[in-house]
Amino acid sequence: MAEWESMLQREAFLKTQGKAHPNGLVYPVVFSDGRNFDPRAQNTQSRDLSNMNYPWEAFRDSPKYLDFHDEVKAIADEVEERIAQAPQWDSLFPLADPSAVIVNNPQIGLPLL
């Protein structure tokens, strides 16, 4: 959550500097259902692979695996483009403190170690 929050803060920082990126700095991929995502993440356009998240070995031998492979390749191509357009590092970029980032979703239970 802190990494995601940091990137959202950097997007806002870049916007105030007149250097906003039209696609943003976050590239969300939904691999499960996304129901427990932070509401801001739920409202962020994402690539949805939730209909291709089969854990079984037989999935690799199914025709649907080719669709999955094509989607992953498309994601890799898009991420490559975004990396090429990413802003240079700036020491003024905000960084969210992990201990200060609160998950506002009571449905999510994190294991205690």
pLDDT at 21 over 60: yes
pLDDT tens digit sequence for 52-97: 989 899 999 999 999 999 999 999 999 999 999 889 999 999 999 9
Q: What is the DSSP letter of 44?
A: S
Residue type (1 letter), 29 = V
What number of residues does the chain have? 113
pLDDT for position 113:
54
pLDDT of residue 33 exceeding 70, the answer is: yes
Higher-pLDDT residue of 20, 91: 91
How much is the mean pLDDT over the chain? 85
Q: Domain residue spans in the chain?
A: 26-86
> pTM of this prediction?
0.72
- Specify whether the CB–CB gap between 62 and 68 falls below 8 A: no
Distance CA 28, CA 34 (A): 10
Return d(Cα 9, Cα 92) in angstroms, integer: 11
